[in-house]
Amino acid sequence: MPRIAEQIEQIYRQVIHRNPGEAEFHQAVREVIDTLGPVLRKHPEFADHKIIERICEPERQIIFRVPWQDDRGEVHINRGFRVEFNSALGPYKGGLRFHPSVYLGIVKFLGFEQIFKNALTGLPIGGAKGGSDFDPKGKSDDEVMRFCQSFMTELYRHLGEYTDVPAGDIGVGAREIGYLFGQYKRITNRYESGVLTGKNPQWGGALVRREATGYGAVYFVDEMLKVRGQSFEGKRCVVSGSGNVAIYTIEKIQELGGKVVACSDSAGVIYHKDGINLETLKRLKEVERERIAGYVKEHRDAEYIAGGNIWEIPCQVAMPSATQNELDGESARQLVANGCIAVGEGANMPTTPEGVRVFSEAGTSYAPGKAANAGGVATSALEMQQNASRDAWTFDYTERRLHEIMKEIHRSCYEMAEEFGSPGNYVIGANAVGFIRVAEAMVAFGLI
């Protein structure tokens, strides 16, 4: 064991040395490789083939300039990224994020997580991520269109339904996917539907894709609750964020009998003790594109807490669904003290390492993002299947497939954690399942 631990520590130091200043990437790597000791003891061939070292190094990293012009005629320059991390299980697959915080370290952390998340789905997709430091907030439709066209003019040469298939993420919804696909189609002269997912169902998109990440996270947590002999029925819940993932997390929790009493955005928190009104929230965020502060204008019994901490609101189930590292150790202790029994990550790596330790020590059921929020990419893969077969599935059929996939992800993580002597530890289970699936393919392909 000491020898394996030393090997893992040496690999981590090498990652830091080769990727300086990329804190989020370092955190993501540490979270995975620290759990792989038992896997390497059972599969020493993975160490012989240097699988961890190879899996921590992206197969390809693309950085490019994105010039565009605003409505006043002023020229702006942004930076675009695509990190094609690992294609052992299939074409690169992962979203594009448009947000001012995007830099190489963020994209690499997301791409690294995507490798294992995609492997957990059991579908033939590799891991990638991309995006830009462009901020679509406050931009006109024409400005967003011009940016997307410039972005795709460079990125298109690296894409293809058998090569790399992007989707949406923060700042990239159906509007942006439409502009990106239109430019790809224009440049290539091919109606290659399978090259982008998250499309409008009228032109090749999958029903349920918009809802998939939120629905899938709730399905996973529902399975965790069943293990505890419980369900969402009557549970008081909080969901951070108010974007796509949060909205459909709230929707599915309500369908399963839970009550969501709080949600948030970057400016503050809405607390509504009688339960969040989903119709109002959807209109504010999906139609009017406004801040959630406007919620209290229509619901006088709700409270808006500017700059508030949503994790201070007592709940039994917490669903962090906004962004990375939003739930720290102090907030985790507050949740536990207030009676939280289950946490499911709708966002990518929203809980800090200290927060994860707090949940583990308290016996709180904790679902890491790579498992809990895999429903989004799973449904993207289902969209690829429909595109490849020139088919269109019903909402009910696609949702059933999503539900089956999430139940299978939970089962495989739960059983793997037990196999490696850590029952109920979904972090160890998810990392082991995802890593072993990718590692076995990498060994089979030889040294490439």
Active-site residue list: 129
93 is in an annotated binding site: yes
Q: 97: closest CA among 238, 245, 231, 217?
A: 245
Residue 18, φ and ψ in degrees, nearest 5: -80, -20
DSSP letter assigned to residue 327? B
394 is in an annotated binding site: no
Total residues found in the chain within this entry: 448
Q: 70: closest CA among 132, 134, 130, 154?
A: 134
Helix and strand numbers (H, E) in the chain are 18, 12
**Is-contact 197 209, C-beta < 8 A?**
yes
The helix/strand/coil state of 356 is helix
Q: How far is CA 262 from the centre of its chain?
A: 21
Q: 244: closest CA among 292, 173, 309, 310?
A: 173
Q: Is 74 exposed, middle or buried (0-12, 13-18, 19+ CB in 10 A)?
A: exposed
The whole-angstrom separation of Cα 418 and Cα 343 is: 20
114 is in an annotated binding site: yes
Q: Which helix (H) or strand (E) holds 369?
A: helix 369-372
The amino acid that residue 400 corresponds to is R
Query: What residues contact residue 38 under an 8 Å CB cut-off, 6+ apart?
Result: 420, 421, 428, 432
Q: How far is CA 267 from the centre of its chain?
A: 22
Q: 162: closest CA among 132, 188, 133, 124?
A: 124
**Is-contact 79 66, C-beta < 8 A?**
yes
Cα radius of gyration rounded to whole Å, the chain = 21
117 is in an annotated binding site: yes
244 is in an annotated binding site: yes
Q: 387: closest CA among 147, 103, 186, 196?
A: 196
Binding residues: 93, 114, 117, 168, 213, 244, 380
Binding residues for substrate: 93, 114, 117, 168, 380
Binding residues for NAD(+): 213, 244
